[in-house]
Amino acid sequence: MVHLKTNLAGLTFEPPLILASGIMGQTAGSLEKMIEMGMGGVVTKSVGSDSREGHPNPSIVDVETGILNAMGLPNPGIDEFCKELGKFIPNKPIIGSVYASNTDHFVGLSKKMEDHGVSAVELNLSCPHAEGYGASVGSDVGLVRDIVENVVKNVDVPVFPKLPPMSDMVTISQVVEDAGAHGIVAINTVKSMAINYETGRPVLGNLYGGYSGPGIKPIGLRCVFDVYKSVDIPVIGCGGVTTGRDALEYFMAGSSALQLGSSIYYRGLDAAEKISSEMIELLDQEGYGSLDEIIGLAHQ
């Protein structure tokens, strides 16, 4: 039977399925629960320097092919969040996700995450709808270089920038690799909106939201494929992985590990367990001896 395990930037993910930021990532209890339910690692909700209430409701809407959300980066601020991290009993890697609008804040947040025991830091350069944060930072190549270089210089744990889907993934990937990143997470949600036909009005309180779920899988696969062929650091794929088959497609595109978010909505809290079993069954059926045999297969 194939054993699902990846070593990436000095960390072991077993299975290589990691809870994505934004879902069940607010408390030590929920993060531990996700590990109990089969995740090989977890990413916290994105945390900033100060507390934020988030966007007005409605902040989430189910569309036929996925989910739109515009939570607005609600979080208690780094100091409160670090108290929560203190309660986390790690037996799998925990990745601290941070967001900010400038380099100094990214560095400060990452150092605090490291001081409170995270195994790695994820830089949210890709939230699609928070003015001044996320993708508005991630689309400024000079700023991205500066942020990544300085965070890498100031912490000892691995640093994983999370990129937005862009038509050109090559330039940004090479910039973050040059800046010293230890891996790239691709992709975050896709900027989108829903309109209520009856009222003729946008559905989300914030108008725009981030699209996730099955509908974005082809976008994620293309981005992972492009990142894999442009850099030598590992790619952590994300975007619409709902079944074991989806997961294997992402490994074939070049992922070394995957993040799961919306799949928890579609498959339940034990989504990782279900996806792992499906992956093993498919790999065994095809006669593969290890996951490594299929990583990047689509590039041959």
C-alpha 10/C-alpha 265 separation (Å) is 30
State which residue, 103 or 188, has the beta carbon closest to ligand DHB.
188
State which residue, 124 or 255, has the beta carbon closest to ligand DHB.
124
Q: Scanning the structure block, which residue is given the tokens 């209890």?
A: 29
State which residue, 210 or 220, has the beta carbon closest to ligand DHB.
210
263 lines the binding site for ligand DHB (CB under 6 A)? no
- Contact predicate 141/132, CB 8 Å: no
For the window 123-142, what string marks contact with ligand DHB as x by the rule CB under 6 A?
-x-xxx-----x--------
C-alpha 2/C-alpha 227 separation (Å) is 26
* DSSP letter string, 31-94: HHHHHHTT-SEEEPPPB-SS-B--PPSP-EEEETTEEEE-----B--HHHHHHHHTT---SS-E
Half-sphere exposure of 57 (CA within 13 A, CB side): 0
**Nearest-5° Cα angle at 134, 245 to 94:** 55
CB of 201 to ligand DHB, least distance (A): 20
Q: Which of 69, 255, 259, 262 binds ligand DHB (CB under 6 A)?
A: 69
Catalytic residue among 82, 127, 223, 238: 127
256 lines the binding site for ligand DHB (CB under 6 A)? no
State which residue, 41 or 134, has the beta carbon closest to ligand DHB.
134
Which range in 24-32, 120-128, 170-178, 236-244 contacts ligand DHB by CB under 6 A? 120-128
Among residues 51, 160, 173, 180, the alpha carbon closest in space to that of 110 is found at 160
Q: Measured between alpha carbons, how far apart are the two ends of the chain, in Å?
A: 25
Q: Which of 103, 119, 136, 189 binds ligand DHB (CB under 6 A)?
A: 189
CB of 2 to ligand DHB, least distance (A): 31
CB of 128 to ligand DHB, least distance (A): 6
CB of 168 to ligand DHB, least distance (A): 20
Does 223 participate in catalysis according to the annotation?
no
- Total residues interacting with ligand DHB, rule: CB under 6 A: 15
C-alpha 184/C-alpha 254 separation (Å) is 11
22 lines the binding site for ligand DHB (CB under 6 A)? yes
C-alpha 268/C-alpha 43 separation (Å) is 18
Binding to ligand DHB in span 40-59, by CB under 6 A: 46
- Contact predicate 138/129, CB 8 Å: no
CB of 70 to ligand DHB, least distance (A): 5
Phi, then psi, of 267 in degrees rounded to 5: -110, -10
Which range in 28-36, 69-77, 217-225, 230-238 contacts ligand DHB by CB under 6 A? 69-77
66 lines the binding site for ligand DHB (CB under 6 A)? no
Binding site for ligand DHB (CB under 6 A): 22, 46, 69-73, 124, 126-128, 134, 188-189, 210
Known catalytic residues? 127
